[in-house]
Amino acid sequence: MEILGIDIGGSGIKGALVNAETGEMLTERFRIPTPKSKKPEEMAKVVAKIVKHFNYEGPVGCGFPSIVKNGVCMSPGNLHKSWVGVNIDELFTEYTNHEFTVLNDADAAGYASMNYGVGKGKNGLVIMITIGTGLGSGAFYNGVLIPNFELGQIPYKKYKKIESWAAASAKEREDLSYEKWSKRFNKFLKYVELIVSPDLIIVGGGTSKKWGEFSHNIKIETKVVKAELMNHAGIIGAAVACLREQHHGHLHQ
């Protein structure tokens, strides 16, 4: 079963064909930079280019960097504010003529870990944290997704949301060393632990590739492990979610 998975990020939109049984990527990732405007129409055009690149027929799973409720964007995240209220499933279906299932990007990455990775078979409350432009979080209880668990949105000091202070974008913006930045990230994990008391935390997203540079500063009670699917998790998880989550953008015949 071959499904196209697309992962939308603040800096790039990536896609690949995935074997939905094994979670294996069957093609190289194809990436196009996210349009500077970060507006719905421009981004939908890029998504259409990715679908066309793979010459693919069939439903598409897509991870999206904000709160997604029944296919509708509920907050702009790090994108343009005009996304709020847009039915992403329907928009992408309209531009590509394929059925779409869109879910939060950290939920998608979590799907990959829970089905094929370090989270497989893990019961209790498992939290997936993805470090990128923002701090995404996906929650699974006994393997079942609890959608839109947006822990990066917790207010912190003068910041409207803690991700503005502790995500990879803050590290770049302030030119922080891994040593300095990871202390911030650990502070964020302390809040996660305090608020939801997870049984396991899985860390993924682009920055997890540098795990060796900062894991020594993660000092919380909860077990914290690195996601082994790394940057491909969003694509793989989106493809799997396409089979599990039932909110497709419908083709109008």
Q: How far, CA to CA in Å, does 253 sit from each of 94, 97, 98, 250? A: 11, 10, 12, 9
**Given this model, what pLDDT does residue 218 score?**
98
Tell me what the mean pLDDT of segment 166-190 comes to. Answer: 97
DSSP string computed for 134-164: SEEEEEEETTEEE----GGG--BTTBSSTHH
Strand, helix or coil for residue 229: coil
- In degrees and rounded to multiples of 5, residue 194 shows phi and psi of -65, -40
Q: Which tens digits make up the pLDDT trace of 214-244?
A: 999 999 999 999 998 667 889 999 999 888 7
**114, 140 contact by CB (below 8 A):** yes
Closest CA to 135 of 175, 178, 106: 106
**Given this model, what pLDDT does residue 101 score?**
93
pLDDT at residue 1, as a whole number: 85
Rounded Cα distance between 26 and 89, Å, is 24
Please state, in angstroms and as integers, the Cα–Cα distance from residue 79 to each residue in 16, 36, 133, following that order: 23, 10, 11
Reply yes or no on whether the pLDDT at 182 is more than 60: yes
- pLDDT of 250 > 90? The answer is no
